[in-house]
Amino acid sequence: MALSVNFQKEINKTVGFIGGGRMAQAITKGFISSGLVQAKNIYVSDSSEQMLEVLEGIGVNTTKDNKSVVEKSDLIMIAVKPNIVSCVLKEVAPVVITEKHLFVSIAAGITIRSIELNLPPGTHVVRVMPNTPALVQAGASVVASGSNAVPEDLVVVQAMLRTVGICDECPEYLLDAVTGVSGSGPAYAFAAIEALSDGGVKMGLPRELSTKLAAQTLLGAAKMVLETGKHPGQLKDEVCSPAGTTISAMHVLEQNGFRGLWMDAVEAATLRAKELGSINQ
Ligand SMILES: NC(=O)C1=CN([C@@H]2O[C@H](COP(=O)(O)OP(=O)(O)OC[C@H]3O[C@@H](n4cnc5c(N)ncnc54)[C@H](OP(=O)(O)O)[C@@H]3O)[C@@H](O)[C@H]2O)C=CC1
Ligand SMILES: O=C(O)[C@@H]1CCC=N1
């Protein structure tokens, strides 16, 4: 692969997105604001006029023509819904140059094998599970390598995704569980923030203050886990004073199956990702 990355600043190649929806926009805006890729070097195709207008507002090149995105890009992100992926790949396959292009799929559940089968033999493929906080450079992504990808492909993709958050690598079979934790996870966290805020409002706080406190509390707790290296259970214990307020609240959460509920949620999302993979081969 000819792709190269200056890890400090800017990638000197063109990046394409097929599908310019919520996740593509989060990554695109993250890339642009981090300075990694200039908007003029980003090409996005989408079937929706409305979405193209939004994308034009970001300053990237837009089109309805998926093939032209591939022709103009070195690295192509597949960012359509899982059930559209094979159709889009078949459409662009005739213009793929295996020595030039690197395909990066962010589609939940869609296996590398099924992606490779829809592209010319030898095409370099990397599969990624990102999440929407990439928009604010706080994303969490995990990458898995395709059978023709070379180490440099993973280096490039990880370097790019690290400009919008953290990026780890895992074997492909774990990516569905990653989807259950961090791909879908922002939605659970938003619901938790909303619920915490609702509790504050029930107890008399103004909504704006309650939501701000709830969001900052989750942000602060997350930073403590990541930055202190302490086990979350230990950090929880440090908040729970004997006979204090927090342990009373924890009792209510445990009585109502708080942990089991979150584990069930991750399991449900993981199984759904596997199902999406098997029905969209
Ligand atoms: N949203 C998230 O938090 C995450 C999403 N993902 C994955 O990212 C992918 C995209 O998800 P998301 O951004 O949420 O989805 P969106 O629906 O927001 O974006 C997909 C876009 O693709 C467009 N589209 C549909 N068909 C075509 C086509 N043939 N050619 C070009 N564009 C097309 C859609 O238009 P229209 O609406 O008109 O159909 C839509 O604008 C999915 O595979 C998902 O699994 C991964 C991690 C997190
Ligand atoms: O809900 C979904 O299917 C996508 C994948 C992960 C997050 N959103």
Ligand nearest to the CA of 83: 1
Q: Is 269 in the pocket of ligand 1 (CB under 6 A)?
A: no
Ligand nearest to the CA of 270: 2
Residue 276 in this model has a pLDDT that exceeds 80: yes
Take atom 7 of ligand 2 and give the residue whose Cα is closest. Answer: 184
Take atom 44 of ligand 1 and give the residue whose Cα is closest. Answer: 107
Residue 235 in this model has a pLDDT that exceeds 70: yes
Q: Is 79 annotated as a binding residue?
A: yes
Residue 4 in this model has a pLDDT that exceeds 60: no
**Lookup: tokens for 232:** 């979350």
Residue of 7 and 177 predicted with greater confidence: 177
Q: Is residue 83 within 8 Å of 272, Cβ to Cβ?
A: no
Give 24's Cβ-side CA count (13 Å radius): 28
Please, which pLDDT band fits residue 9 given cuts at 50, 70 and 90? low
- The ipTM of this complex is 0.99
Sign of CA dihedral 22, 25, 30, 33: negative
Q: What is the per-residue pLDDT for 10? A: 66
The arithmetic mean of pLDDT across residues 243-270, rounded, is: 98
DSSP letter at 94 equals: G
Q: Is 22 annotated as a binding residue?
A: yes
Take atom 1 of ligand 2 and give the residue whose Cα is closest. Answer: 184
